[in-house]
Structure 1
Amino acid sequence: MRSFVRNNSLGLFFGVLFVGTLAAQSVAGWQSFNDEHVGEQLGTIGYGAYVTSTDFAVAVAENWQSEFLQFLLYVLATVWFLQQGSPESKELDKPGLETDEEQKVGAYAGPDPPRWAALGGWRTRLYSHSLALAVGVVFLLSWLAQSVAGWASENEHRLEQLRDPQGWGDYASSADFWERTLQNWQSEFLAVGAFAVLAIFLRERGSAESKPVGEPHSSTGVEG
């Protein structure tokens, strides 16, 4: 067990943080929701009702979709785009998809490769892009969940105000929906771009996301 925890500590660490912060968000959101309803002279709801509500669903989904969009674009952008000096970039002479030999697929597969990497044909082609495909599917599903939950939440608020409900298309094309969506997107793009550039000049000893402390600023694609 000790060996398992050590060998998987990075994933476990972020898994615990995810569960803890999601739980804390649900409690804070529940209290904020009830405070708002008290101010509007509406009834409060229980914790269980809140975590199964559209308000909580949209609060969670709108952050998930922006995070997975960030990962999707980063995975795809780093295939072709380079950043001199950044450990987040490939080496400057290796833009693009690289050769089968460099990627160790098909006849060039090494010992104990992933099965689909060695089979060749459509399965190797599919597996060669499986990371972007998986992240892209999660992004699309999260975006869809955000739009549907937000639409349902907006219509609940409109009914409370004795206003007519609106269709999903109207909500998904509304300024309010896109203001919330783009607010999340721009913060993700800023964070990723800033990290790629800051890692050129700054170091974190022992981190796989940093170059070795004594590595020149110009070294590209080198990780500690």
Structure 2
Amino acid sequence: MRRFVRDNGLSLGFGIAFLLALAGQAIAGHAEFNNQLATDGLAQIGFGAYLASSDFAVDVTENWQSEYLQFFLYVFATVWLLQRGSPESKEMHKAGPESDQDQRVGEHARSDSPRWASAGGVRQAVFSRSLGLVMASLFLLSWLAQSIAGVAAYNEQQLRQLQAPIGWGNYLASADFWSRSLQNWQSELLAVASMAVLSVYLRQRGSPESKPVGASHSSTGVEG
């Protein structure tokens, strides 16, 4: 068990932190939602009913889709885009998908390489881009979930105000949907850009997200 925890400490640590944060969001969101119901003169709902509500679902999924968008764009963009001096960037001469030899695919695969790395054709092409494809799929699925939960939450608010509900297609073109999306996108993109630039000049000893403390500011693609 101790070895398992050590070998999986990063995923376990962030997984537990995620669950705690989600629980905290649920508790705070439930209180806020009931306060809004009380203000509107409506009956409050229980915690379980709130967890099954569209309001909770849209608040969760709108954050998920922005996170997966961030990683999807980052995975694909860093194939071609470089940042001199940043450990978040490849070395300046390695822009692009790189050679089969550099990527250890096909005849250059090693004995411990994944099986699809040595395969050819479609299998190798898919596996070579599998991380970005999965991130893109998770982004699209969470964005779809946000839109479905969002239109339900929006229409509930419309009905409370004695206004007519709208269809899913109209909601996709609404200010509410795009405001929810863009306010998360801009923060995620700013965070990535900040990390790429600040890691050129700042260090965090022992972190793979940082260059070694003594590395020059111009060192690119070097991790501590």
The answer, yes or no, to whether TM exceeds 0.5 is yes
Shift of 1:162: 1.6
Report what 1:158 is aligned to: 158
Mapped partners of 1:155, 1:115: distance in 2: 50
Note if 1:127 corresponds to 2:130: no
Shift of 1:53: 0.4
Report what 2:221 is aligned to: 221
Amino acid of the residue matched to residue 125 of structure 1? A
SS of residue in 2 equivalent to 1:205: coil
Amino acid of the residue matched to residue 203 of structure 1? R
Map 1:79-98; keep pairs closer than 5 Å.
79-98=79-98
Report what 1:170 is aligned to: 170
Count of residues in correspondence between the two structures: 224
TM-score (structure 1 length as normaliser): 0.99
Map 1:188-207; keep pairs closer than 5 Å.
188-207=188-207
Mapped partners of 1:19, 1:92: distance in 2: 39
Compare 10-19 and 168-177 and name the one that shifted more.
168-177
Kindly provide the CA deviation profile for residues 69-111 of structure 1, in whole angstroms up to 9, marking residues without a partner as x. Answer: 0000000100000000000000000000001110001110012
Shift of 1:189: 0.4
Amino acid of the residue matched to residue 65 of structure 1? Q
Amino acid of the residue matched to residue 215 of structure 1? A
Report what 2:43 is aligned to: 43
Mapped partners of 2:24, 2:135: distance in 1: 26
Mapped partners of 2:202, 2:111: distance in 1: 37
Report what 1:179 is aligned to: 179
Cα-Cα RMSD: 0.6
Report what 1:76 is aligned to: 76
Mapped partners of 1:111, 1:16: distance in 2: 35
SS of residue in 1 equivalent to 2:94: coil
Mapped partners of 1:205, 1:190: distance in 2: 24
Report what 1:211 is aligned to: 211
Mapped partners of 1:55, 1:115: distance in 2: 44
Report what 1:20 is aligned to: 20
Shift of 1:120: 1.5
TM-score (structure 2 length as normaliser): 0.99
Report what 1:145 is aligned to: 145
Report what 2:63 is aligned to: 63
Mapped partners of 1:115, 1:28: distance in 2: 47
Report what 1:5 is aligned to: 5
